């Protein structure tokens, strides 16, 4: 069974731009969560989607948003990029919220 | 200002020895705990999980111990191998309705010496 797939793997943007990251969960998994990983803050929860509905949200500004499609694929969007948004963005999927989350290899976003 | 990187605790063990990685959690309401392994350039890989109604769970070469009294979690790896070198994260979760949110620790860098 294929794992969680995130695209693109690497992305370079400049301040003020916006970016969309994509995540395809493991087949059959309906819960998708997004995390930001930085050397300074570690792994921080962004939000969780289940059946196209956001069920949980972390402590991030409104510039960070996401959505989930009917096939469980998810996208996250960051608008008005700041230097501090440079990070590894990780997506994790699980069968249900109370099952272990399985991570993709992330999208490395660099802001110049 | 420039952000300072997390200073990861480190653990070095000889190949073949057992490793014990410790984690303190903060929320007494957490009812689920999970260990992940992250190798360089990859996402976290699920190792083992445990619910709060248990105090021990075993997998293949790994054992997780949970002490709710002191809010402490440990991961034991038997016969550590070079491929076990990675950063290990513990995470605590609290189930609210049908949703569960994970909070991750800062990680421990495990290095296996030949």
pLDDT per residue as tens digits for the range B5-47: 456 789 999 999 999 999 999 888 888 999 999 999 999 999 9
Q: Which residue in B6, B99, B106 has the most chain A C-beta atoms within 10 A of its own C-beta, making it the best mutation to test that interface?
A: B99
Pick the residue with more confidence: A88 or A41? Answer: A88
Instruction: Write down the pLDDT at residue B7.
Output: 61
Q: Strand (E) positions, chain A?
A: 5-7, 10-13, 19-24, 31-38, 42-50, 53-57, 64-68, 74-78, 87-94, 102-103, 107-111
Relative to beta strand B86-96, strand B62-67 is unpaired
DSSP A8: -
Q: B99 and A55: CB-CB below 8 Å? A: yes
Strand, coil or helix: B83: helix
Tokens of B40: 């360089």
How many Å lie between the alpha carbon of B47 and the closest alpha carbon of chain A?
A: 10
- Residue A51's CB: how many other CB atoms inside 10 A? 10
> What whole-number distance in Å separates Cα of residue B44 and Cα of residue B11?
18
Interface of A with B in 34-93 (CB under 8 A): 35, 38-45, 48, 50, 55-56, 58, 84, 90, 92
Q: How far away is chain A from the Cα of B69, in angstroms, using its nearest Cα?
A: 23
Distance (Å, rounded) from C-alpha A42 to C-alpha B6? 7
Grouping H, G, I as helix, E, B as strand and the rest as coil, residue A112 is coil
Is there a contact between A84 and B3 if contact means CB atoms under 8 Å apart?
yes
């Amino acid at each position: 069974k294929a794992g969680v797939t995130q695209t693109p793997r690497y992305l370079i943007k400049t301040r003020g731009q916006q970016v969309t990251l994509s995540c395809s969960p493991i087949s059959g998994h309906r819960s998708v969560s997004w995390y930001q990983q930085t050397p300074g803050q570690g792994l921080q929860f962004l939000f969780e989607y289940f059946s196209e509905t956001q069920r949980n949200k972390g402590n991030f500004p409104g510039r960070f948003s996401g959505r989930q499609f009917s096939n469980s694929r998810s996208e996250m969007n960051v608008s008005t990029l700041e230097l501090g948004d440079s990070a590894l963005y990780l997506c994790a999927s699980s069968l249900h919220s109370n099952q272990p989350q399985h991570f993709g290899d992330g999208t490395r976003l660099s802001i110049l | 200002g420039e952000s300072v990187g997390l200073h990861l605790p480190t653990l070095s063990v000889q190949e073949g020895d057992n490793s014990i990685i410790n984690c303190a959690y903060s929320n007494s309401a957490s009812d689920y705990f999970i260990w992940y392994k992250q190798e360089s350039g990859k996402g976290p890989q699920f190792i083992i999980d445990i619910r709060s109604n248990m105090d021990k769970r075993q997998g293949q070469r790994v054992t997780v111990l949970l002490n709710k009294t002191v809010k402490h979690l440990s991961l034991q790896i038997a016969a550590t191998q070079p491929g076990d070198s990675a950063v290990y994260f513990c995470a605590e979760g609290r189930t609210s309705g049908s949703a569960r949110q994970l909070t991750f620790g800062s990680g421990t860098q495990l290095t296996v010496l030949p």
